[in-house]
Amino acid sequence: MTLPEKDISKNQTITSPDINLEVKQKPESLWRIAFDKFMKNKLAVSGAVVLIIIIGMAIFAPLIAPHSPEEQVLTNRLAPPSAEHPLGTDELGRDTFSRLLYGARVSLTVGFVAVAGIISIGTIVGAVAGYFGGIIDSILMRVVDVIIAFPQIFLLITLIAVLEPSLGTLIVVFALFSWTGTARLVRGEFLTLRTREFVLAARTIGIRKGKIIFSHILPNAIGPIIVTATLQIGYVILAESTLSYLGLGVQPPTPSWGNMLQAAQDFSIMLYAWWYPLFPGLMILITILSFNFVGDGLRDALDPKRKN
């Protein structure tokens, strides 16, 4: 483009030192705004802090745990909390605190990996269905309907009973059968967003479909997606616990919060060793609650339209 001579010289002499600076600073300032907004939300911040503690404890479990999670002291079964066993011991005399730490690794891994899968599949299917509409939309949504038609937990139980129950199987099964809600949500967002004028405007400047879908429309839908992702993590951790509780998830002796609860379901244990079912249950509750708080906070923070 040809510019008036005067403008070029003025522009270059005055602003060129700033331009490089600007390129480097830009992404930072964008995240800065989101970060500041997030920090103002007390509930979200406390949720994040709790999550960081839990994740940190899971990562550093070998350093923190006072005992090996598999070390059995059969003479010291169902011991109440004490200095040596801060959260007591289980029916085989294993340290509950250590087992909770290692169990967090399993539960969080299942949560994060499965949700990454759920969100990827759900977003791609939903985005394609919502943007293109018509026959493509109909076909994809009928597939979603078919999957939704099966009662989820029974489907999981059946599949895991047929396949070998293991951590990998759990993750794959969760990812393959839980993306339908996300797909519907993303489709709904895309249906309203694709008719917005900025999409037409992007098309008039020659931007291709793939780019419009993923770099123009998707960022507008990122808020709801993040919120479902955090809710999904909670759901997956809970589902993993449920399956482990039923003996179909993570197999002992590998500890997970779910199979610890399962081991504690004996009536006499519940009656006389309250610490054994209490702490795994509490961990599940706190973790899921924290994920939900963080999700809410992120949604508000990442939406540039929402003013503080």
Residue 2 is a binding residue for other proteins (CB under 8 A): yes
Q: What is the largest CA-CA distance in the chain?
A: 91
Residue 71 is a binding residue for other proteins (CB under 8 A): no
The nearest distance, CB 111 to other proteins, in angstroms, is 27
Residue 200 is a binding residue for other proteins (CB under 8 A): yes
Residue 207 is a binding residue for other proteins (CB under 8 A): yes
The nearest distance, CB 7 to other proteins, in angstroms, is 6
The nearest distance, CB 299 to other proteins, in angstroms, is 13
Q: How far apart are CA 87 and CA 77, in angstroms?
A: 13
Q: x/- binding map, residues 79-118, to other proteins, per CB under 8 A?
A: ----------------------------------------
Residue 6 is a binding residue for other proteins (CB under 8 A): no
Q: x/- binding map, residues 116-155, to other proteins, per CB under 8 A?
A: -----------------xx---------------------
The nearest distance, CB 226 to other proteins, in angstroms, is 13
Contact residue for other proteins among 31, 35, 150, 198 (CB under 8 A): 198
Q: Candidates 18-26, 71-79, 224-232, 244-252: pick the segment binding other proteins (CB under 8 A).
A: 18-26
Residue 205 is a binding residue for other proteins (CB under 8 A): yes
Q: How far apart are CA 77 and CA 158, in angstroms?
A: 34
Residue 274 is a binding residue for other proteins (CB under 8 A): no
Contact residue for other proteins among 13, 75, 204, 308 (CB under 8 A): 204
Number of Cβ within a 10 Å radius of residue 182: 25
The C-alpha angle 33, 231, 254, rounded to 5 degrees, equals: 115
Residue 202 is a binding residue for other proteins (CB under 8 A): yes
Q: Candidates 38-46, 161-169, 208-216, 237-245: pick the segment binding other proteins (CB under 8 A).
A: 208-216
Contact residues for 47 (Cβ-Cβ < 8 A; gap 6+): 289, 290, 291, 292, 293, 294, 297
In this structure, the dihedral spanned by the alpha carbons of residues 117, 214, 187 and 290, taken in order and rounded to 10 degrees, is 50
Contact residue for other proteins among 5, 6, 29, 162 (CB under 8 A): 29
Q: How far apart are CA 107 and CA 269, in angstroms?
A: 23
Interface positions with other proteins (CB under 8 A):
1-4, 7-8, 11, 15-16, 18-20, 22-23, 26, 29-30, 133-134, 196-198, 200-208, 215-216, 219-220, 222, 303-305
